[in-house]
Amino acid sequence: MSKPEYSIPPEFKIRDPEAFAANMTKVAQKSTELFSQLLQTQNQKSPDKLPGSELTSVAQTLFDVAQNYFNQPEKLVEAQTQLWKSHASLWQNTWQKMLGEPVEPVVSPERGDRRFRDESWENNQIFDFLKQSYLLTAKWARDTVEGADDVDEHTRHKADFYVEQIANALSPSNFVFTNPAVLRETMDSNGENLVRGLDHLIEDFERGDGQLSIRQTDLDAFEVGKNLATTPGKVVFQNDLIQLLQYTPTTESVYKRPLLIIPPWINKFYILDLNPEKSFIRWAVEQGITVFVISWANPDARLAQKTFEDYMTEGVLEAVGAVEQATGEKDVNAIGYCIGGTVLSATLAYAAAKGDKRIKSATFFTTQVDFTHAGDLMVFVDDEQIKGVEEKMAEAGYLEGRSMASAFNMLRSNDLIWSYVVNNYLLGKDPFPFDLLYWNSDSTRMPAATHSFYLRECYLENNLSQGKMSLGGVDLDLSKINIPVYNLAAREDHIAPLKSVFRIGEFLGGKTRLVVSGSGHIAGVVNAPQFNKYQYWTNDKGAATIEDWLDGSKEHAGSWWPDWKRWLAQRSGKLVPARVPGDGKLKVIEDAPGSYVRVRSENKKR
C-alpha cells in the first residue's frame, strides 16, 4: 500500500511573515487588555462571587446523567465502544480518501446546517476529518443522554439541551485554525481579521457593561420612528404601563368594530411594524380596520412591583376602555401575540366571570395557555432556577432585557450566537444591516413581580390551563371564554412550540379556527402577502392531535394574512366613515410610535 502524501495548500500559508507577526503581537496585547478589563469589571460588580458560579446547574445536571452510567458499568463500556467504533470507521474512511479512493462520508451535516458550507470542509482531507469527527462525537453525546434510562424527564431535557449547547460551542467552525474560511482570511490578511475581531469583541463587552452583547446587525443603520415603526398614527392614551397607539386610516371607510393588538412585553411592538413592506399593522390599516396597538413601558425599578394582574387591568382592560373613548364603539376585536396572547386569554376568562363582553373575538399569534409542551424554554424552569432569577431581579427590581434575549438566542445558538462569533470576531467583519435583528437586539426589561408570577404560574405550575390561576380575586376558567377564536401556530416555532399552541382549542369554550403557518415564531407571523413566502395549513374538520390535524390538513401557498382578514371581516360589522386619531374623546398626546418604545435597555453606545 502506498503511503499517502499531504502538503499544505497555498491558500493556508502565511503571505507576509513579518506583517503576520506584528498583527499577532497586537492580538496578544488586545487580549491581555480585554482580560484585565473583564477581571476589573467582575470585581467591581460582585467581588465575592466566583466567575462561572451560574454553571452549577449545568454541572449538576450532566453529573446526574454521568452517574447513571457509573452505576451501570456495562452501559458505560457499551457507550465507549460505540464511540470508538464510529471513529475507527472514520479513520479507515479518511485513509482510503487520502489514497485517492472514492468513499462516502461516515456522517454528514444535517440539512440546513450552514456551518460547513465552505468547500474545504469536504475537499480538504484534514478539515473533512475534523468535521466528521466532530459530528460523530456530538451525535454520540446526544445519544448518551438519551440512553440514560434512570433519569427523570426534566433532567434529561436539561441535559440534552446543555449537551447541544456545549457541542455547538465546540464546533471546529468556531476556531481560527479549524475553520478553513477563517484560516484562509487570516492568511490572506496576515491576521488583520483577528485584530479587527478583537476590537469588535472589546466594543461588545463595553456595550454590555462587562457582559458580552454580540452585535447581530449594524446598530447604527436603524432608528425607531425613522426607518422602523413608521406607520402614521398617534398616541391617544397612556399610563405608567402603556401607551396606546391609534393609526391613521388610509381608506375612506372602515369596519365598525376596531381592533386592539396586544403584543408581548418581552419584546417591543414594532415587530408588527418593521418597515412598510413587512408591516402587519400598515397592512391591516389598508384593509379598512381601525387599528390600536399597546406599546408597553420598558420598566425600571419604579415599576418593579407591577404585577401580572396590572398588565391585565392597566394594560388590556384600560386599553379596551380607551378604544371605546377614542371611537365610541363599546365592542372590540383583539389580537394577542405570544405572552400578549397569554395575558389576553387570562383577561378574557376574567371578563367572562365579570360579565364583561366588550371583546367580541380573539386572535392568538403563537400563544400558549397550556405549558405542558412548552419546549426548550422549560430547561430554564424549575424551582431552583426560578429562585436564582428572583434573587437576580431583587437587586434591581427587574430582569435585564439581555437575560431573556440570551435565552431565546440559545434556542437557535448556531444561527443566533456562533455564526456571529465567527463573522464578527474571527473574520473581523461587521454584521449586515437587518431590521429584524435590530428589533431582536432592542430588548426590554421585565418587572420582578410580573416575571416571577409568569414563570411560576405558567411554566412551573401550569395553573392557567388547570383553572388554578387567580387574578383580581377571580379564579380564571378558560372554558368560560365563548367568543370566536383564530389561533395561529407556527410549524417551526422554538419559543411557543406547535404542539403547545395547538392545544388552545381544548381549553376555550368557543369555536376555534386553527391555522398553522410555515417558518417560526417571528417569520411565521410577519409574512406579508406580496412576498409569497412560506405557506399555511388549514383543516376544517379538526383533529384530536396535531399529528392527525396536519395529516388531514390542506396546504395553501403564501401568507395566512388574507385568510385572517376574511375571518375577521365577518366579525367586524358594517363599514362606517374612517376615524381620525384625536377626533374622539381622547386627544393626541404625541406622534406614533410614541416615546415608550424608544427607551432602550442597553447602553446606547454602539
Structural domain spans, the chain: 16-42+55-207, 233-400+445-598
Find the Cα–Cα–Cα–Cα dihedral 434, 435, 437, 442, rounded to 10°. Answer: 140
Positive/negative CA dihedral, 573, 576, 578, 582:
negative
Per-residue confidence (pLDDT) for residue 568, from 0 to 100? 98
Give the residue-averaged pLDDT of 518-526. Answer: 96
pLDDT in tens, 203-235: 999 888 878 889 999 999 999 999 999 999 999
Per-residue confidence (pLDDT) for residue 5, from 0 to 100? 58
Does domain 233-400+445-598 bear CATH number 3.40.50.1820? yes
Give the span between the Cα atoms of 599 and 291, in whole angstroms.
23
Residue 604 banded pLDDT, cuts 50, 70, 90: very low
Residue 172, C-beta contacts closer than 8 angstroms, at least 6 positions apart: 127, 130, 131, 134, 178, 179
Look up 458 and say whether it is catalytic: no
Higher pLDDT, 594 or 71: 594
Q: Provide the H-helix boundaries in 253-382.
A: 280-286, 308-310, 318-327, 339-354
Higher pLDDT, 284 or 379: 284
Give the residue-averaged pLDDT of 349-366. Answer: 98
Beta bridge partners of 245: 235, 293
Give the residue-averaged pLDDT of 288-295. Answer: 98
CA–chain centroid gap for 9, Å, is 41
Per-residue confidence (pLDDT) for residue 444, from 0 to 100? 93
The DSSP element (H or E) to which 144 belongs, if any, is helix 125-146
Beta-sheet pairing, 332-337 with 359-365: parallel
Q: Is-contact 261 291, C-beta < 8 A?
A: yes
Ramachandran angles phi, psi of 220, nearest 5°: -90, -5
The helix, strand and coil proportions of the chain, stated in percent and rounded to the nearest 5, come to: 50, 10, 40
pLDDT exceeds 80 at position 186: yes
Cell triple for 43: 470585581
Per-residue confidence (pLDDT) for residue 52, from 0 to 100? 47
Choosing from 271, 294, 317, 338, the catalytic residue is 338
Give the residue-averaged pLDDT of 9-22. Answer: 87
Per-residue confidence (pLDDT) for residue 602, from 0 to 100? 65
Give the span between the Cα atoms of 161 and 288, in whole angstroms.
45
CA–chain centroid gap for 578, Å, is 37
- For the chain, the C-alpha Rg in angstroms (whole number) is 27
Give the residue-averaged pLDDT of 168-193. Answer: 96
Lowest-pLDDT choice from 5-9, 332-336, 517-521, 566-570: 5-9
- Mean pLDDT of all residues belonging to the chain: 92
The model scores a pTM over 0.85: yes
Per-residue confidence (pLDDT) for residue 443, from 0 to 100? 87
Per-residue confidence (pLDDT) for residue 3, from 0 to 100? 60
